[in-house]
Amino acid sequence: MVSRSPKINLKKFLIKSTRIHNGQEMARKAAKAKSEENGLPEWADNELKNANFQILDTINRTGYFLDINEQTKKADIQLYESLPDGRTIIEEIDLADDLKVSELMKGFVYEYKIKISKAKLSDQLCELLKTKYQIDMDEIFKFDLEGAQMMDVESDFDPNKKDKDEEEEE
């Protein structure tokens, strides 16, 4: 008996991938699709896998880890300040080799150093995505977490101290 992998609805997959905003992850998942009907053509898959990423910027942002995968050295992070394009969540960001993944903790506030790279897609691939999958995309992004410094964040709230408004009411 031959085992078949489940069919992937590529349209739903690619729409979800635009949320991921990580070109390499999109290429990896798209490569799993086997046929022209359910997957990207081989040339498109190769273009995504071999994209020539150029460093766009390195920025500092604060936020916290949503998920950390020690085996793949990837994490999902929520940012308090948005990235230049407006997003505040980065899924499956690559962790730098010098980060001690086992010491990172979910839910704590960190200051992140994030390297943003982007790659232009060919006109042919842009047209394929637009016509076959209704995705208007001409570039892909890659994010690398180069540093994560836990911040010492304390709350200003003191349960024993009354606010000025409460004192005025008494």
d(CA 144, CA 95) in angstroms, rounded, equals 6
Extents of the domains making up the chain = 10-152
Rounded average pLDDT over 134-144: 92
- pLDDT band at 35; cut points 50, 70, 90: very low
pLDDT at 13: 45
- pLDDT band at 14; cut points 50, 70, 90: very low
pLDDT at 116: 95
Rounded average pLDDT over 68-93: 94
Q: Is 63 helix (H, G, I), strand (E, B) or coil?
A: strand
Residue 20 has pLDDT above 50, yes or no: no
Residue 152 has pLDDT above 60, yes or no: yes
Comparing 131 with 22, the larger pLDDT belongs to 131
Rounded average pLDDT over 123-132: 94
d(CA 64, CA 74) in angstroms, rounded, equals 14
Reference 57, options 148, 142, 149; nearest CA is 142
